[in-house]
Amino acid sequence: MPILERHWEKLTEEHWHKLAENWLRCIREHGYECTHAHCNRWSQIIVNFGMFGTPKELWQFIKRIVAMAESEAEFEIIAAMPIEYLLGRFGPEYIDRVEAEVQTNSRLARAIKDCNQYQMTDEVWERVKALQN
């Protein structure tokens, strides 16, 4: 069973929005490989969240940032971080939700195209690949 940090469940809507907004702003202004201390801080928070956050909050965050994304680079990074973390850690229990959301959310469908297998099971990965076509 994955280690879960429960403090993510206590964040307010304002905190979630600030996290998404700041992380995406750093990507827009400095790119993914930015070493600027401010951007590095936000990226470290996202990595920590992806590795130890609860699946419910991670899924809600993915839907939030996909709605806020503006560029192909942002969609690629969303795929490579939050989406791959969710499906790598909780894929068997979340793949049905992802498949259903992709049917009505073209922005999520766009981001899914950039996912790699990461830690997904082979079964989940096959289903993701079907979404990529």
Q: In the chain, what percentage of residues exceed pLDDT 70?
A: 91
pLDDT of residue 23: 87
pLDDT of residue 126: 98
Single-letter code of the amino acid located at 81: M
One DSSP character per residue, 65-118 reads: HHHH--SHHHHHHHIIIIIHHHHHHHHHHHHHHHHHHHHH-HHHHHHHTT---T
Q: What are phi and psi of 82, to 5 degrees?
A: -60, -45
Is the distance from CB of 81 to CB of 50 less than 8 angstroms? yes
- Distance between CA atoms of 65 and 70, rounded to whole angstroms? 10
Q: Which residues in the chain show pLDDT less than 70?
A: 1-4, 31-38
CA nearest to 74, candidates 116, 30, 118, 126: 30
Across the chain, mean pLDDT equals 89
CA nearest to 121, candidates 99, 90, 96: 90
Mention every residue, 6+ apart, whose C-beta is less than 8 A from residue 20. Answer: 61, 64, 65, 68
pLDDT of residue 2: 64
pLDDT of residue 66: 97
User: What is the residue extent of each domain of the chain?
Assistant: 11-132
pLDDT of residue 68: 96
